[in-house]
Amino acid sequence: MVAIGYLFAGLFFLGGCVFVMSSLLAANVVNRLFLKPRSTKNKTTTYESGETPIGSAWVQYPLAFYIFALLFVAFDVDIVFILSWAVIFRQLSWFGFIEILFFIIVLSLGLVYAWRKGVVKWI
């Protein structure tokens, strides 16, 4: 009876999709019916505080963003372990505690290394 919960959650998700799509569709219909689309060049330029946009927006951005993504992957995988460990922690007791102590210390060493390298600091 537990697995069926996923079916219900899926139904809820579908309901959300139907609602959002139908409201977008309805808004489109309203747009078609009541508005005369007058698409001018100025109207469809992107708004950058009144400046004329120069070039494409899809340019390269600072490398710092990439380092945070990398750090995140390392920590998030660890958190999946820690959360599933936390649930059965009472059954594991001492053995589990020593294990996770070791695990978290290794994890913290990673953070300390990143910290000393100065990558967790923005610019």
Partner 1 sequence: MSDLAWFLVAAVVKSIIAIVALLTAFAYMTLIERRVIARFQRRVGPNRAGPFGVFQPLADAIKMAFKEHILPAKASSFVFLMAPAISVFVALTAFAVVPLGGPTPWGTSAIARAWAPYIADLNVGILYILSISSLAVYGIVLAGWSSGNHYSLLGALRSAAQMVSYEVSIGLALAGVLMFAGTLSMVGIVEAQVHQGIWFILAQPLGFFLYAIAAIAEVNRAPFDLPEAEQELVAGYLTEFSGLRWSLFQMAEYINMITASSVLATLFFGGWTLGALNGVLGAPFIWYFIKVAFFLFVFIWLRATLPRIRYDQLMRFGWQVLLPLSVVNALVTAAVVAFGLSWWVSGLFGLAVLVIAVGVYYLRARRRTAGQMELARLDFGTPNATVSVGVALPSSVRLVSLPAANGAVDSAAEKGEPVVVG
Binders of partner 1 in range 37-56 (CB under 8 A): 37, 41, 43-49, 53, 56
Q: What's the count of helices (H) and strands (E) in the chain, helices before strands?
A: 3, 0
**Site residue total, partner 1 (CB under 8 A):** 73
The helix/strand/coil state of 54 is coil
49-88 residues near partner 1, rule: CB under 8 A: 49, 53, 56-59, 61, 64-65, 68-69, 71-72, 75-76, 79-80, 82-83, 86-88
96 counts as binding partner 1 under rule CB under 8 A: yes
The helix/strand/coil state of 60 is coil
HSE (side-chain half, CA atoms, 13 Å) at 60: 4
Binder of partner 1 out of 22, 26, 102, 117 (CB under 8 A): 26
Tokens of residue 44, six digits = 């469809």
21 counts as binding partner 1 under rule CB under 8 A: yes
100 counts as binding partner 1 under rule CB under 8 A: yes
DSSP element (H, E) containing 44: none
Which residues 6+ apart lie within 8 Å of 110 measured at CB?
A: 74
The helix/strand/coil state of 120 is coil
90 counts as binding partner 1 under rule CB under 8 A: yes
15 counts as binding partner 1 under rule CB under 8 A: yes
102 counts as binding partner 1 under rule CB under 8 A: no
